[in-house]
């Protein structure tokens, strides 16, 4: 038994199996994240005119720059950092750092805060810089769980 556990071949086999497990887990995780991004990007494109009242601007959505070809043309689905362009009830139109337009939906459970403490939705003004995280819905919008207002 001691010879078996010290066997070099056994260690090599164990190493190969462990590597395969790690690769499969990493691949699965990548597929999971990619799927969510792709689904949100699709629903965002499909609902663009309904959300923003205009045709989607022509050109690449994101993935510009020297490394954009790797990231592809998907937008982030679970968060946004950008400037408030307009407010319509509980829907905030945000222009993010990649110049994409996104809609954030605030609900009664959304936590809104800034450096001074907790805020209400009506405290958010146009041109405020915000950081929001949330869950994407089928209308290409993000249902915010947390909105942090940065002081300008």
Partner 1 sequence: MEEKDIAEIKPIRPPKQLFNDIKGRIKAEKKAIFRKRVAVFGALASFSIGGFSFIFYLFTQSIFQSEFGYFLRLLVNDPADAFANWRDFSLSLVESFPLEQALISLVFLFVIVESFIFLKNSRRLYSPEFNESRV
Q: Interface with partner 1 by CB under 8 A: which residues? A: 33, 36-37, 67, 70-71, 76-81, 96-97, 111, 113, 115, 131, 133-135, 145-146, 148
CB of 96 to partner 1, least distance (A): 7
Q: How far is the CB of 59 from partner 1 (least distance, A)?
A: 20
User: Is there a contact between 80 and 104 (Cβ–Cβ < 8 Å)?
Assistant: yes
Shortest gap between Cβ of 81 and partner 1 (angstroms)?
4
Compute CA distances 42 → 90, 94, 99, 104, whole Å.
23, 18, 17, 17
Nearer to partner 1, 56 or 133 (CB): 133
Residue 114 main-chain phi, psi, to 5 deg: -140, -165
Nearer to partner 1 by Cβ, of 45 and 78: the residue is 78
Residue nearer to partner 1 on the CB measure, 61 or 77: 77
Q: Cβ closer to partner 1: 46 or 114?
A: 114
- Widest Cα–Cα separation across the chain: 73
- The span from the CA of 54 to the CA of 49, in Å, is 5
Answer positive or negative: Cα dihedral of 95, 110, 128, 93.
positive
Least distance in angstroms from the C-beta of 98 to partner 1: 8
Closest CB 78 distance from partner 1, rounded Å:
4
112 backbone dihedrals φ, ψ, rounded to 5° = -115, 130
Q: Which is nearer to partner 1, 73 or 148 (CB)?
A: 148
């Amino acid at each position: 038994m001691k010879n078996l556990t010290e066997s070099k071949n056994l260690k090599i086999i164990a190493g190969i199996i462990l590597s395969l497990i790690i690769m499969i887990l990493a691949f699965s995780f990548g597929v999971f994240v990619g799927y969510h991004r792709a689904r949100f990007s699709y629903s965002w494109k499909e609902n663009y005119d309904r959300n923003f009242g205009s045709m989607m601007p022509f050109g690449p959505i994101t993935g510009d720059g020297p490394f954009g070809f790797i990231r592809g043309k998907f937008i982030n689905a679970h968060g946004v950092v950008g400037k408030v362009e307009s407010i319509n009830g509980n829907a905030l139109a945000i222009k993010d750092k990649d110049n994409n337009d996104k809609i954030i939906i605030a609900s009664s459970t959304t936590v809104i805060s800034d450096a001074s403490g907790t805020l209400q939705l009506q405290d958010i003004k146009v041109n405020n810089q915000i950081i929001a995280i949330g869950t994407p819905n089928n209308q290409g919008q993000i249902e915010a769980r947390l909105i942090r207002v940065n002081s300008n």
